[in-house]
Amino acid sequence: GNRGQMARQRELIQEDDRVELIELRRQGSDADEEFPLRRSVGNQGKSYGVRHTPNPLVSACEKLKVSNWRRYLLFWKSHSRIHKAEKPKPRRTIHINSPQLNRHFCSNHISTAKYNLLSFFPLFLFDQFRRYANLFFLAIALLQQIPGISPTGRFTTAVPLFLVLLAVAVKEIIEDLRRHRADSRQNRQVVKVLRGVYEDTHWKNVVVGDIVWVRDKQFFPADLLLLSSSDPKSICYVKTSNLDGETNLKIKQAHPETSLLGLSGRADLLQLKGCVECEGPNNRLYEFTGNISVQGKGRRAAEPILTNQILLRGSQLRNTRWVYGLVIYTGHDSKLLRNANRAPLKRSNMESITNGQVLYLFFVLVVLSLVSSIASTVWNSLNSHRFYLRMEASTGSAVLHLFYSFLTFLILYNNLIPISLIVTLEVVKYIQAYFINFDRDLYYSETDTPALARNSNLSEELGQVKYIFADKTGTLTRNEMELKQCSIAGQSFSVDATHGQDQIASLKRVIKVKGKETAVLVEFLKVLALCHSVVPESDKKRGVAYQASSPDEEALVKAASACGVKLLSRTPETVTIDVFGQTEEYKVLNLLEFTSDRKRMSVILRSPEGSIRLMCKGAESVVFNRLVEGDPLCQETGRHLEKFALDGLRTLCISATNLDEATYMEWEKVYYAASTSQENRERALDEAAELIEKNLHLLGATAIEDKLQERVPESIECLRKASIKVWVLTGDKQETAIATGFSSKQLTGLNLMICNERTQEAVNSRLSSFANQLSLHNRKELSEHKSALIIDGQALAHAMDPSISKLFLDLALSCKSVVCSRVTPAQKAAVVELVKRNVKRSITLAIGDGANDVAMIQASTLHTHTHTHTRTQAAHVGVGISGREGMQATLASDYAFAQFHFLVKLLLVHGAWNYHRLSKLILYCFYKNICLYMIEFWFVFYNGFSGQPIFERWTIGLYNVIFTSLPPLVLGLFDKDVDAEVRMLRPSLYRSSQRGTSFNSKVFWIWVAVSIVHSLAIFFVIYYGLHHGAPLHDGKVVGLWFVGNTIYTATVVTVCVKAGLESEYWPWVTHAAIWGSIISWFLFVAAYSHFWPTFPVAVEMVGLDSKLFGSFLFYLSFLLCPAICILPEVLVKSFRMHLFPSEVDKAKLEQQQCPAGYLSVSYSNKRPRARLYGDGLDDAEESPLEYTSNAISSSDYGYAFSEQDHRSLKHGAMKIHKRDVIRM
């Protein structure tokens, strides 16, 4: 990393550094290559007629001792070399009030539609025929057009394929028309643009460099730089729900260089000259790198533009009369449109298995075709002497016959691969997503937030999850902060909100009673009131309201206010506070913002007395390293921090220091150079902050409670009993994570193995000792140990090294749970990727609520290490919690809801059901096709291997489209093995789907074998029953089409009855689908037999309906064949269920024995518990809720007990009424 490079460079630097720097300064352009900051600042000066300024970094190093600034210099020397190899990002220069210089940028016209009139057909067809199945059937349809090749006609494959593509095309057209209409509405919206005078301009005509006037409740037409607003503090409020889904208003402040423009009219706006130099268009919503240069006396060459000065397209102005903005990015260059790309496509494990089996089945198809074609060639050669066959026996004709026969049989057998499978799967998964969206148990009424399935491709993956990687704050906890304890000047204060008083008011009372209004206490409270990004807002009803992006900051500012140090107002340059009745105004010199890597925030202020003060708050791991040596409060505060963490509280250290004028002024030049850099600005700012954030004096620490969400302990207990391992990856302190682990029952009953070593050798040794304690021989054996691995971020960085990552992974997998504390977002993603890559056939799920969880939630993220790029796959399934940290995690997720405990039903019910349903759907689709089309293979042995089909050509084509299309749909949508209540109460039932017992290669080929056996039974029973020419009622004997349609009828009835056998839940739609499919065939035969000569088809079927319906053998055949095929399966299923029942089978039997609607609840240990069906559950496996059977009204069936009922009950059961329950 950077520090390693700096260490290597440091060894090369000698004591004459100062001389070297002066020499670099004299080298001109060569020095510019070493110092990109100088080049960027200098070029800006040359562009606008400003005198070329020397490199402030070099100047600062010349005036100060080089050792004080060596780290920053080495950073730039190393990174300037590294990034020369990278492809530079295209930057742009925007000239203010010079439209002729801004014409080369893209227009503001947008188009989010996929197609237009010219591109629809080529793009649509290309997208559809990228699928191997569609491409295969297209090839078959083309082969059928060759004369004399197709035994089933020219269009029997083309028409079903056309119908499938037509259905998809109609859906695509409808969706794209909506996009076109939305684009037209966007492009035709009107905004006022300053072009000498105010002009009402359509959004599509706004160009880069325009100054636009946006009024309250209007949307921004493009990405803008905020120039000024109607607010005296140049503040405006913005709603960004269209961008990130967050409903709270964001606060934006105009750049100080332009904050007064427009207040007295448009004249000063028209006279504004200068330019904005910024990064090229990108999709980073929360980052912006750019500088503004305004011509005028006394102005610096460039001033940095901050992220909170940018107004993004799609945002809405709220609670502000007007703002002026300079257009920076337009149209498809805007960040909103840059983020409009489709999410990376995730493929489920079941889909991968299916694709593999399709390839094997295609190989079987080729083999069958090859065998049939060889047999046909041999048969022809043996029977060539029969003159009426008109065959030639030449060698050339035999080879040609072999080729043409192969194509004929390939067409005849092509439907062994079901043509409707893909469409059926898409429809079923799409509707399954709606089942999740409309589940009332996954709806959170407090925030009016329903569940949202954002990716329908992964519905069955929810039933196979083995590892859950969860964030802590906002995911397991509420992210609602309450100050509970604090340490000030080495003394600990507990805050107890007694008698209904607010906890902050209670803190004020405690402090006053103890008489701690000393200088340290006042300074402590000042840091709380000044070191933040909170903006106060005056409210006539509530007084001062605080707008904060972080609940931690809001809690601390409110605490300081309650204790007498109140935040009154904030402008871009000043912060005003009330200190025990006296108003003090501080000038904001610099704000060093919090990031996940820095883990701290600092502000540099000039006090009313004129002194410069640096205030810092952050994690103890970073603050303690920056304290003055021998700080007197360090040891005592450290003990308090440990105690706070053991209580499960979130801790922050509060510190401050004075800066002398000369040191600050020289550092400010370095900071200015970093803040105006166009390349690697974030890194440069971090390194610059490192130079000034040192020699701090510790003032104390705060401890904030973040309560667990509802039912988190019960949820984690249920997940553990379902054999799902929960790993917590958090940025919090280790002690806090451990305390939360115990309170959430994640670590209950487990032996803790803690690894906090700081070197790779020590980490290796520690992990090895843990492995020896557990007798680490193989992963399977270790999975039984009741242990938990606890590791912090620094040790994890060494544990992820390739040399010991295998040991770390084996040890982690052997534990029941893992807690990683103080980890970065990149480390979260790396841990998930490590498990996903090395643990085969295990589905991972990542769940979080904040932007720092996006990396592990998304399908793939791009991590950059120096100049190399590596693709890192994260969790199979990503779940976002819509909480107080915004909607970034939700927008990056596959599924989203508001509470962690909703995950239990999502997995144990929806996931298991979806896996169960889709398994049957896929297997049944292959079964029904193989059952019918293998009959064609058996028939070739009796027709001289001629390729003559036994079925009429259009009945073959309509088999998947009409007669057997509904049974797989109802299996995929409505079937369920056990009720939702049973699955929630018996988490161990989840293991069957987790292990993939319902769908794997073995099960697939068992179904294939069953379908072959059924096809054999149907064909030979009917063929040999009718092959002697059974007489009909008119004295005629049966022919080919009578036999074929009798076999077809028996097949349709058999496969529909098979669907009924596999269906374990029979609502009315299941009855309608199964019996309706059978009836539809009979109605079709009755109508189709009379098509010819009205329609030029079905000449073979003329009068066949009367022959079929008038024959006793026909009725006997379609009744006898299903019985022969299905009865053995019924016996096998019954035998297996009663003699070798699985856990799911036991639950089914218990559910059948318990009358529907009979539930009761008993209470133990002052909380509701449930037990199902008396002794049906083993105590070790039962859910935290226990159900027992007791009569209740049948109208209440389908409900489960609500834990929100807090009435005390005596011994015994009680009747549950609808007012006591929630819908399952």
Task: Decide if 919 contacts 350 (C-beta within 8 A).
Answer: yes
Displacement of CA 520 from its chain's centroid (Å): 46
Q: What is the DSSP letter of 86?
A: S
Task: Decide if 940 contacts 947 (C-beta within 8 A).
Answer: yes
Strands 895-897 and 877-881: parallel
Q: Is 724 helix (H, G, I), strand (E, B) or coil?
A: coil
Whole-angstrom Cα distance, residue 728 to residue 138?
Answer: 49
Rg of the chain, C-alpha, whole Å: 37
The closest alpha carbon to 323, from 239, 237, 209, belongs to 237
Whole-angstrom Cα distance, residue 809 to residue 661?
Answer: 52
The yes-or-no answer on residue 977 being catalytic is: no
**DSSP secondary structure string for all residues of 511-560:** HHHHT--SHHHHHHHHHHHHSS--EEEEETTTEEEEE-SSHHHHHHHHHH
Whole-angstrom Cα distance, residue 16 to residue 305?
Answer: 37
Q: Which helix (H) or strand (E) holds 238?
A: strand 235-239
Strands 860-865 and 868-873: antiparallel
Q: Which of 223, 441, 471, 810 is catalytic?
A: 471
The closest alpha carbon to 1159, from 1127, 1186, 1122, belongs to 1186
Instruction: Tell me the sheet residues that pair with 727.
Output: 469, 818
Return the structure tokens found at 500: 């209904």
The closest alpha carbon to 987, from 726, 1205, 710, 709, belongs to 726
The closest alpha carbon to 296, from 49, 590, 604, belongs to 49
Who contacts 1177 (Cβ-Cβ below 8 Å, separation ≥6)?
985, 986, 1171, 1186
Whole-angstrom Cα distance, residue 812 to residue 789?
Answer: 6
Task: Decide if 808 contacts 767 (C-beta within 8 A).
Answer: yes
**DSSP secondary structure string for all residues of 867-921:** TEEEEEE--SEEEEE-BTTBSHHHHT-SEEES-TTHHHHIIIIIIHHHHHHHHHH
The closest alpha carbon to 1016, from 941, 934, 1122, 956, belongs to 934
Handedness of CA 119, 120, 125, 131 (dihedral sign): positive
Instruction: Tell me the sheet residues that pair with 868.
Output: 865
**E strand spans, 386-503:** 452-453, 465-470, 477-488, 491-494
Q: Which helix (H) or strand (E) holds 859?
A: none
Whole-angstrom Cα distance, residue 593 to residue 618?
Answer: 11
> What is the end-to-end Cα distance of the chain in Å, rounded?
51
Residues annotated as catalytic (active site), given as ranges: 471
